[in-house]
Structure 1
Amino acid sequence: MTVLDTRPVPTAYGTARLLAGVTSGRTAGVARHRAHHGEQRFHDQATLAGLADSVRLLGRGGAAFPVGVKLRAMPSGAAVQVLVNGSESEPASMKDRTLMRLAPHLVLDGALLVARALGTHHVTVVVHDAASAAALRSAQAERRDAAGVRILHADGGFISGEVRAAIRGLSGGPAVPPGRRVLPHVHGVDGDPTFASNVETFAQLALVASLGADRFAEVGSPDEPGTTLLTLVGDVPHPGVVEVPTGLPISALLPDQDVRPRPVLVGGYHGSWVTDIRDLRLDRPALRAAGLPLNAGVVARLSPDTCALGEVAAVASWLAGQSAGQCGPCFFGLPTVARDVHSLLRGDDPGAELARRVAQLPGRGACAHPDGSAMFVRTALTALADEVEAHRRHGTCGRPWRGELPS
């Protein structure tokens, strides 16, 4: 699997918060971390949930679920588990790995904050790459309060990073989503109630506890205050991980889009291609209302020098290869869709069959993988209509495939 690297170093539009002290690309030790974020402040469960509510904090994974609601739904006590899901396995996304590698103490602060609020010592961080695991373990060795945190480097693919798959793997089963859609706060790691979220969500909780609600909400959108991390991919002014205030127009990330308009992928490989970004802002509620979930925070734009349909075909094949093989839409549907896209790339028109197959995928799988993959392909075929037509007519668009979308 080809993945993005931490280079170039992350940057911030405005004042860095999550990335405070690490925009040099050097990992922050505990002393530098405390210099930027202060001593850790703990809160009880009700107060922490109230803080999350007051800044309208949403989860920074795919679901964007209100964090305060999730905290309030949790039971408390020694049997409860806290799971930091750091298994960021989408090749285009690098934001969580950047936090784990450069700001591991902020991640640990968030995990320990939640654990203290819930009255438990059971904290697990699961990661899919060795560099993140090493950075977290190095940070753990610097502080006594994190001695009991379990940091697990678990090899796995895209699907094994889905939270229910990660929980199943940690509980001794196969790391694939279960057919039953049981919420982690009801039945999580080892059957215990589990507060589970992705890395950036825990870092955001640590940040709001450190700053307080008023300072946290001084920047960003009124509907979703604060900042968020993105990974910018392809033909963009600042490729890599950026921290931006919520509510920022997407056009601010692509200042030449009006001059050279090209389709933009919002939300990564389970996201959507759009052709008009003029009214789009980095505000999860507004984007979701427009049918554009931000998911893992990937924004991509292809250069005019690559075969865009070839890029889509490569990702479609990668998505098909990530199937857990346990339900028909994944096992049969995604490989067939990928073959159809490759046929289109060669100029062999699959006709209405491709559109029909893509339309049949959503809502039928054991997890959201078929749904997100279908959205990626369906919106690409619409946004890239001119290029699709060129391949239908001539078998090529005249441009090489440059692999700008990692897969």
Structure 2
Amino acid sequence: MIRNWFKNIGPGPLVAAAFIGPGTVTVCTLAGVNFGFALLWAMLLSILATVVLQEMSARLGIVSQKGLSEVIRTEISNPILRTLAILLILAAIVVGNAAYEAGNISGSVLGLETLIGNPTLQIGALKLNALSLSIGVIAFVILYLGNYKILERALISLVIVMSVAFLVTAILTKPDLGLVLEGLFVPKVSSESILTIIALVGTTVVPYNLFLHASLVKEKWTQTSDLKFARKDTIIAVVLGGVVSMCIIISAAAIKDAQVDNAADLAKGLEPFFGNYASYFLSVGLFAAGITSAITAPLAAAYVATGCLGWDSQMTSKGFKAVWMFILVLGVLFSSIGFKSIEIIQFAQVANGLLLPIIAGFLLWIMNKSAVLGKYKNTAIQNVFGILILAIALFLGAKSILKVFELI
């Protein structure tokens, strides 16, 4: 039974690996430090929304055997609207992932630095971080092989390591379960917390994951009879990924009277509870979170770019490789020269929250087209959930814009 379950694991863990990166660790850390358990409800809402939207994305990929960007390009008949949609998607996903990549690699470096120090390489006048280069090489090798099974196994292993690290950390802080349950099921919103709520949604319901999932499922499954496996795979992986994010919030909420600005500071804040073990568990978790996202971000950008431009989207094609190489090299370069990515990651999470209604709107529109999905198009109930998520995303996005411009 267990062997059969592992055999049918699909892209779900890869999607979870993509949304639990250093950005998620940072945002969840700040949510826990600044608001305690009060924003756990936002993470629960994000998990439910992610399950609904990722299931749609997986269904689209299996039934159509195309990626989301390919379907959008072929289904929008008006050339002006099609061009605008493609430009919007390329700018948001490809350019956005280039910024994310520096943060992903930097996050993984933060994890390793605690364990083995910070070695540097001097090349002329340029000083490079050796750990950034090493992580870039690992990501390059895994992506260059172009083998879905190798990619899947590598990321699943890293996700398991990451999950155990953060889960153990949360348990060791001995949280008050009553307060945890209250934070989960009693929503609280204040003007101070609205941008953090948007960031929590943006870091979990990741727009680029909708493109990544639709493209990856067709590497694993080709028959509509496999939809049941894809649905189970999505639910289990996303829920477990959400539990990991909640563990980070719970761990951070335990910190009192400590200056915590990012995930690396989380270990320092927890040291009074259980000494240097905090540093070790969190370092391993942060390394795994960083390197999994450092692999999936270039991969997603490549699927989006090739789909939008009508190129061959096979992992071994030259155009596909060129896109992910470009994203990866930028990330390694920015991370190596000490590019400060924490602020950009946080900004990108908020931008993701604002972009979500647009991408979710595209997905809902496609999921109701009989020409694309036939009898597998959305049911009335699926549309109700989808529209509800879209409405919440629009509401939160509007509030965040008002907050940014200090109109509320």
Bin the TM-score by the shorter chain: under 0.3
More helix by share: 2
More strand by share: 1
Relative contact order, higher structure (CA 8 A, sep 6+): 2
